[in-house]
Amino acid sequence: MSTIEDLYDELFGALKEEYDGHRQRIKQEELDKQKEVPPERSLTVSHSGGGEGTGLVPPAVRPPVPTRRGRKRAEEVQIQQWEIGQETNTTAMAEQSVGVVATHTYTVMDRTQSVISDEFYGVKRNEGMNELMRTFAAKVLSRADASLAALQESHLKRIAEDL
């Protein structure tokens, strides 16, 4: 079994060396000259208040009258307040998870776009191959965008169903 794997590794290495030998890489300095920093006015950020959770602690409820019925009523109100606190904490966690998924989606899309564009602009090809790779890169990026948007939407739907 290891002999076959060694043959595959050797064949893959030879193919990779041959492939890398035919490609003409553009130097990183040339690529960095073409990049630009987005202008500050191009992104509007919304500010959200709050911290790492609500920290909601329901106050102790005293019985309205010192009887068994009063203590039972105070216990019922205490349970209601506890349930409200649990729903509030769950909602806060849901909001934070939506933010986490949005951040993850943005990060993955940014990395994907960066890798594809660096590879596309980093290799000199014939004009026909440039057009083919441009079309393919555009399709890959649009599918990645669609799949990440679907992930983000499905997360929101799951959160809404749970709440």
> Which pLDDT score is estimated for 47?
55
Which is more confidently placed, 33 or 22?
33
Those residues with Cβ within 8 angstroms of residue 36's Cβ, 6 or more apart along the chain or in another chain: none
Could you tell me which of 43, 16, 22, 32 has the C-alpha nearest to residue 117? 32
Give every CB contact of residue 71 below 8 A, 6+ residues apart in sequence: 63
Please state which of the ranges 3-12, 49-58, 141-150 shows the lowest mean pLDDT.
49-58
Contacts of 145 (CB under 8 A, 6+ apart): 109
Whether the CB-CB separation of 94 and 163 falls below 8 Å is answered with: yes
Asked whether the predicted pLDDT for residue 74 surpasses 70, the reply is yes
Structure tokens given for 22: 């035919």
| pLDDT value at residue 87 | 83
Q: Would the pLDDT of 1 be above 60?
A: no
- pTM of the predicted model as reported, rounded to 2 decimal places: 0.54
pLDDT classification of 71: cutoffs 50, 70, 90? confident
Tokens 């690529």 correspond to 31
Q: What pLDDT score does 54 carry?
A: 55
The size of the chain, in residues, is 163
